Amino acid sequence: MPRAVIALGSNIAPAKEHIDRAIKALSAAGTVKEVAPYIISKPEGYSHQEDFINTVLILSTPFQPMPLLKKLKALEKELGRKPSFTNGPRVIDLDILFYDDLVLFEDDPQYHLFLPHPRLHEREFVLKPLSYLLPDYVHPKLGKPVYRLYRELMKKKGAPTCRIL
């Protein structure tokens, strides 16, 4: 069965409980195989909001990429996510980071799907938990393992801003 790597985030209280509920709800899309440690991160893009709790998990799924994305977006709504502005506060955010070793762009009337996620290598809140879960996984487009992407980002940023919960 295909393996998808999913990023989860929340910054509306109780954020940890929203993440926990989302992990349970993901059983509707497959089998959760492993979950990374939860981290706390500062918001990016719009800073006048609460810190985020983030994690990453591995999902064994029968869904192909676009149907999986649609399932994740439906789960976000079921879990209470409301439309908001870009980078605004959210009850839950679910993103596909990787789907096996697939490199893909798929366009749909509702969604655009890029695999791997196009900005994951720029996001400490993704790379930190991902480096606990899959440190040696090689990014299929960049050709570098996750631990190296994290190390390169930290060199560029300076000190880490995320911490384990």
- Average pLDDT along the chain, 165 residues, taken 10 residues at a time: 96 96 96 97 85 97 97 96 83 97 91 95 96 97 97 91 89
DSSP reduced 3-state for 99: strand
Query: What is the predicted pLDDT for the residue at 88?
Result: 78
Query: What is the predicted pLDDT for the residue at 48?
Result: 85
Query: What is the predicted pLDDT for the residue at 165?
Result: 87
Query: What is the predicted pLDDT for the residue at 102?
Result: 95
Distance CA(152)–CA(104), nearest Å, equals 24
59, 78, 82, 107, 165 from 85: Cα distances, Å: 28, 19, 10, 22, 27
Query: What is the predicted pLDDT for the residue at 44?
Result: 82
Query: What is the predicted pLDDT for the residue at 129?
Result: 97
Query: What is the predicted pLDDT for the residue at 126?
Result: 97
The helix/strand count (H/E) of the chain reads as 4, 8
Query: What is the predicted pLDDT for the residue at 52?
Result: 94
Query: What is the predicted pLDDT for the residue at 65?
Result: 97
Query: What is the predicted pLDDT for the residue at 103?
Result: 96
